[in-house]
Amino acid sequence: MKVFASAMGQVDNVGDTVLRRAFLNAIRPAGDLQVYVGSRDDSYLSGLGLAPGDGLFRRSDEWRREISRTTWRAPVLYAFNAGEMELQRSYAMHYLRLAPLLVASKLRGGHAVHAGLGIRTRTAWRYPIAATLRLCDVVSWRDSYSRASMGLGTVAPDWAFALGSSDDQLSADTADRPLLAVSVRYTGERPDDTWVRNVRGLASALGLQIVTVAQILRDGPLAQELAVELGGEAHTWNGPNHATQEATLRALYRRSSLVVTDRLHAAVIALTEGALPLGLADSPTAKVTRTLGAAGIHGAGIDRRLPDAAVLHRTARDVLARREPILRHVIDARAALAALTHDIRNLTS
């Protein structure tokens, strides 16, 4: 059986290739994997971990033609792209156009999987999308807010939890962790003087050295500016290669005690290397907060403006004191993803 999966993501976002690599790893044993990457170049592909036997499609017309041709002739497994989806008209139309193919596939013994997604904001476009998703054998969301908004499926942790240091390494971690990593998105409200002063104070109180990290290439200029203001060192992209940047990030996180971030996958990748998150959020339903919550990690979110030094210090010390149970949640998240993977692979066994 052929397995069709899109792995489209932002070309300068390491988190996008990390989560999709884990997803492709999960579905690859289910059949002959065919992957659509569009115009993404080899730098992006370096982070996907494609295997020699994987089919690769860059042109959308060829991709659609191959899916249609195969679906009408034989059973296939169609895997929707993982990551974040927007409940907009363009998404709804895409799902509705796929519905006849999914019906044809089911009639021939095929299957469809929609796993590891989260929505940004609830809109009325969720109704036609949900109607199409009822044709899927597996529907899973990476947070409870998304599942409740869509009205169907289950909840499982983000795919990025599946990668990183092994369970044994996380359980037995005694590494020296002298760093406090800071990874802040370039969009939105820029950190002010109070924010900078409180982060510097936290690092000083904990005896940690500050490093600013560009999780996304576009975060680089802000990371450099904040490094100067915080009295730390900046680590930005050295070339466009995702695999190289991911290796750099993971090495930094293995030396970090805490990661102050509003980037979801900075928090998740850091956790998989033993660094604990302080998630900067503007509401209880912020992406970083609710996605960590789906993995059982609560109490690690804080007002993104960091207006109160005492609250910041108290939250940081609480998170550090809960190091062992938080990392246990990472291991449990992997077990949940392994169970989801088992369900997907069983569709074609």
- Specify whether 138 is located in the same domain as 214: no
Evaluate if residue 83 carries a pLDDT over 90: yes
Of 155, 176, 202, the last residue of a domain is 155
Query: Could you tell me if residue 348 is inside a domain?
Result: no
- Specify whether 144 is located in the same domain as 197: no
- Specify whether 151 is located in the same domain as 176: no
Q: pLDDT by residue (tens digit) across 190-200?
A: 999 999 999 99
> How much is the pLDDT for 188?
73
Q: pLDDT band for 72, please (50, 70, 90 cuts).
A: confident
Average pLDDT of the chain?
A: 96
Query: Could you tell me if residue 338 is inside a domain?
Result: no
Q: pLDDT by residue (tens digit) across 244-277?
A: 999 999 999 999 999 999 999 999 999 999 999 9
- Specify whether 129 is located in the same domain as 186: no
- Specify whether 200 is located in the same domain as 273: yes
Q: Give me the percent of the chain exceeding a pLDDT of 90.
A: 94
Q: pLDDT band for 187, please (50, 70, 90 cuts).
A: confident
Phi, psi (deg, nearest 5) at residue 7: -125, 35
CB of 56 within 8 A of CB of 119?
no
Evaluate if residue 131 carries a pLDDT over 80: yes
Nearest Cα neighbor of 180 from 222, 213, 131, 214 is 213
SS3 label, residue 139: strand
Domain, as residue range, for 101: 2-155
What is the DSSP annotation of 183-238? E--SSSSPP-HHHHHHHHHHHHHHT-EEEEE-SBGGGHHHHHHHHHHHT-EEE--S
> How much is the pLDDT for 189?
80
The torsion angle over the Cα atoms of residues 330, 278, 297 and 188, rounded to 10 degrees, is: -110
The mean pLDDT of 315-326, rounded to a whole number, is 97
